[in-house]
Structure 1
Amino acid sequence: MTEVSSLTGRLLVATPSLADPNFERAVVLLLEHDGEGALGVVLNRPTPVGVADVLESWAALTGTPDVVFQGGPVSLDAALGIAVVPGGAADGDVAAGPMGWRRIHGAIGLVDLDAPPELVAAELGTLRIFAGYAGWAPGQLEDELADGAWYVVESEPGDVSSPAPEGLWRAVLRRQRSRLAMFATYPDDAALN
């Protein structure tokens, strides 16, 4: 098996040609990527379900919109908390950050939703709750990348907590300093162009 270069902490941005309804215009934050496969959450799929309706103790720590996001099509009954911890950007310092928070990349990390919220509350900058996740078997993501289904770009802490998640696909593409930026203007339905 060939060695896989980890994309953990980076964003997968769906290309305009990706027609899978689970990932059309999706922006996925990769939480894990190695030879065993990949796991991430879709950052731009808010649901109508309020965080207070499912995880009341965490509701006061979530930003706007204060709803649960559909993180992907796998295990929709499982919840993941992704949070940004200001000053938690020292990638080499595993100890940096509050108890109950595990660094993924820079200031972005996973929150242990079984822990008492007060353990991390004082140090969290933003928190978002996701139902489900996106998963890839070994080699599957690499095949999709080779087929041109995804653009891979750097993540920024603000991607996790965008107050306008529906516009995140265009916003992430627009900030690229390459030809990718022009895809931000790609029409929702190219047939109507």
Structure 2
Amino acid sequence: METMDTLRGRLLVATPAIESGPFLRSVVFLLDHDADGALGVIVNRPLESDVDDVLPDWAGLVNAPVCLFDGGPVAMDSALALGVVADDAPPVGWRQMAGRVGLVDLDGPLPVHGELSGLRVFAGYAGWGPDQLEAELAEGAWLVVDARDDDLISPQPETLWREVLRRQQDDVRFWTTFPDDPSAN
């Protein structure tokens, strides 16, 4: 079992135990995890909405695909942004979450070109109450793995679930062959 202080900045990868709902085959980047619960964003769920439709000033800074992402089922009417800093000088309004990844203040000044190597805007987030995530981990609903900066800004987010599993060193790699609908197998 993972300890709470090790989960921030890591990925939760949905296992085949999650058979439906918003977390089916999801990859979640954990922004926070403590005794009060956990908070993260789903990084592999692009939406049909363009960033230009809701935050036109930010659209030029978002890397492909230039759309909003479904960050999770909580507060879908709010937006948050994750940015990966390009060097050691983060932009104004960037708050470190883990490594080079941080939250970007969408109400603050726009980052200068080159300060971020990638930016994603999420509608909503994923949240767990106290001990809820730990219970789901114990049930086998999630696999906890190390995150790479590129996971958060993948140009092909719809393939990220399989890519993250494929790079693991144990038998969980075989989950990539798990059919979308096991009953149709």
1:75 is matched with 75
1:188 maps to a residue whose letter is D
C-alpha separation in 2, matches of 1:181 and 1:103? 31
1:114 is matched with 107
Identical positions, percent? 54
User: TM-score scaled by structure 2?
Assistant: 0.94
Task: Verify the 8 A CA contact 1:37 1:135 in the aligned structure 2.
Answer: yes
2:28 maps to a residue whose letter is V
Give the deviation of 1:105 after TM superposition.
1.0
1:108 maps to a residue whose letter is V
For structure 2, the residue ranges without an aligned partner over 5 or more in a row are none
1:169 is matched with 161
C-alpha separation in 1, matches of 2:85 and 2:168? 24
2:58 is matched with 58
User: TM-score scaled by structure 1?
Assistant: 0.90
CA-atom RMSD, angstroms?
A: 1.4
2:97 is matched with 104
Write out aligned runs for 1:5-154 (5 A).
5-88=5-88, 97-117=90-110, 119-154=111-146
SS of 2:44 mapped into structure 1: coil
Task: Verify the 8 A CA contact 1:99 1:120 in the aligned structure 2.
Answer: no
SS of 2:28 mapped into structure 1: strand
Give the deviation of 1:191 after TM superposition.
2.1
SS of 1:44 mapped into structure 2: coil
Of 179-188 and 62-71, the range deviating more from structure 2? 179-188
2:175 maps to a residue whose letter is F
Task: Verify the 8 A CA contact 1:101 1:120 in the aligned structure 2.
Answer: no
Task: Verify the 8 A CA contact 2:28 2:42 in the aligned structure 1.
Answer: yes
Cα distance per residue 1:30-70 (max 9 Å; x no partner): 00001110000001111110000000110000011100001
1:110 maps to a residue whose letter is L
Q: Does 1:187 align with 2:143?
A: no
SS of 1:18 mapped into structure 2: coil
For structure 1, the residue ranges without an aligned partner over 5 or more in a row are 89-95
Give the deviation of 1:120 after TM superposition.
4.6
Give the deviation of 1:19 after TM superposition.
2.1
